[in-house]
Amino acid sequence: MKELTHYIGGAHVKGTSGRFADVMNPATGEVQARVPLANAEELAQAVDIAAKAQPAWAAVNPQRRARIMMAFVGLLNRDMDKLAEALSREHGKTLPDAKGDVIRGLEVVEYCIGAPQLLKGEYTDSAGPGIDMYSMKQALGVTAGITPFNFPAMIPMWMFAPAIACGNAFILKPSERDPSVPLMLAELMEEAGLPKGILQVVNGDKEAVDAILDHDVIQSIGFVGSTPIAEYIYGRGCANGKRVQCFGGAKNHMIIMPDADMDQVADALIGAGYGAAGERCMAISVAVPVGDETADRLIAKLVPRIEKLKVGPYTAGNDVDYGPVVTAAAKANILNLIESGITQGAELVVDGRDFSLQGYEDGYFVGPHLFDRVTKDMDIYKKEIFGPVLSCVRAQTYEEALGLAMDHEYGNGTAIFTRDGDAARDFANRINIGMVGVNVPIPVPLAYHTFGGWKKSMFGDLNQHGPDAFKFYTRTKTITSRWPSGIKDGSAFSMPLME
């Protein structure tokens, strides 16, 4: 049995807590490795090393830090196949999807190569008589990130790349379900030239999370996961005086107007609803056609496409559209929600409950499902399913469709499909959701914009990646400077004026 490690101080370190979690192969249901679960003492060891290494790293000029990011990009491209295979083996997603996971993280690293420009302050000459004023952006110190299972390459890079480019040390607590790729990323960062102790990986569960939240040296925490845990981390982290950004659940709606190209809509929903087995926070899980005629046309286009989906292990290569879900518990939760949809009166148009794959009967595969005539009081509408299940909620008017998305407690992403520019513009302006697609089904911004939802999909003031990341991982210091040519006697007791 393979036993994984932590990565602390530039070395693979065995766990000492005596606690382990099984790392499963989602396609077979077999245990393929064990990962140690850190206690507070192990986390403290990593923090101590980071705190000692960070000041020297912050003193390295931004251009030299950017060169390490540049070298890291080269190593990611070199090891792309290796990283994707390790990711697919533990997560279950297909190899093309796994490579996409790595590439979207790589793009943020590329953005961070611009750190010298992004870290520039402001300067005002002669703000007053002989007085100059300027600002500088300085690193926070030791920072940390708690990342989810569904993007074990992308989301860690979204966090540690800008944090490190800003001059911070970073401690990563990845998901214990698929920890191998984060360990590989730490190795590659040091191969690129990063000093030891600046990026460390501490595996663990709630005990390690609480140790991160409570450690007084850690200055900021990033998190991506479910909304209940996001609320917990945000509340406890803020109570401990830390800067915190938490990204939670989602229930993303796609509004389909009567004038939309229905073939384009159907193709978009297949990829956005069923890709990665629906285990994406930006997956489209609710289709909202406007008008019954639009809904009937949509269902007619969707059913044959769904019935042709190929589900299987990543080892089947390009013959597979999506793989298993991550754990047996995840599969059970999805199937329970499907049963609730049937019980509560939704029409199950495509039924994937009996899906079974010969030779992989113990794997966590879930066949594709399509519900029609879903209503907003049903559990399958209210809850994030995180599986290959698409719900169709029929709206009679555009305003009703808009209201469905606006009234839902989650506000991560949404989309509208239409040929009407006025409708699209109105939708983009009025919708209370953080990321909006116009004829784009998964509107994940590119690295030089920011990623973040609204409502119960996000807790905090700043988004991920883009300019917000460089704000989140730095503090601004403003200096007012005067070099007088002579010394004058006397003290002033009033507020100084720059006159």
Kind of pairing between the strands at 454-455 and 410-411: antiparallel
Nearest to 114 by CA among 180, 77, 166, 54: 166
Residue 43 Cα distances to 106, 172, 218, angstroms: 27, 10, 11
Residue with structure tokens 């559209």?
321
| Catalytic residue (one of 112, 246, 281, 392) | 281
CA distance 255 to 426: 13
281 is an active site residue: yes
Amino acid letter at 163?
A
Kind of pairing between the strands at 243-247 and 2-3: unpaired
User: How is residue 431 written in tokens?
Assistant: 């919708």
**Residue 87 CB-density burial (10 A; 0-12 exposed, 13-18 middle, 19+ buried):** buried
User: How is residue 186 written in tokens?
Assistant: 């730490």
Mind giving me the DSSP string for 15-37? --SS-EEEEEETTTTEEEEEEE-
CA distance 458 to 463: 9
Burial 152-176, CB ≥16 within 10 A → b, else e:
bbbbbbbbbbbbbbbbbbbbbbbbb
Nearest to 460 by CA among 216, 142, 248: 248
Kind of pairing between the strands at 474-482 and 435-438: unpaired
CA distance 58 to 52: 11
CA distance 405 to 255: 9
Q: Per this entry, what is the length of the chain?
A: 499
Element of type H or E holding 114: none
Residue 29: phi, psi to the nearest 5?
Answer: 75, 15
Radius of gyration of the chain (CA): 25
CA distance 267 to 297: 13
Burial 319-348, CB ≥16 within 10 A → b, else e:
ebbbbbbbbeebbebbbebbeebeeeebeb
**Bridge partners, 24 (sequence order):** 31
Contacts of 64 (CB under 8 A, 6+ apart): none
Nearest to 212 by CA among 39, 457, 49: 39
Number of Cβ within a 10 Å radius of residue 383: 15
3-class SS letters over 433-461: CCEEEECCCCCCCCCCCCECCEECCEECC
Residue with structure tokens 């074990």?
152
Residues 280, 442 contacting (CB under 8 angstroms): yes
The residues annotated with a catalytic role in the active site are 281
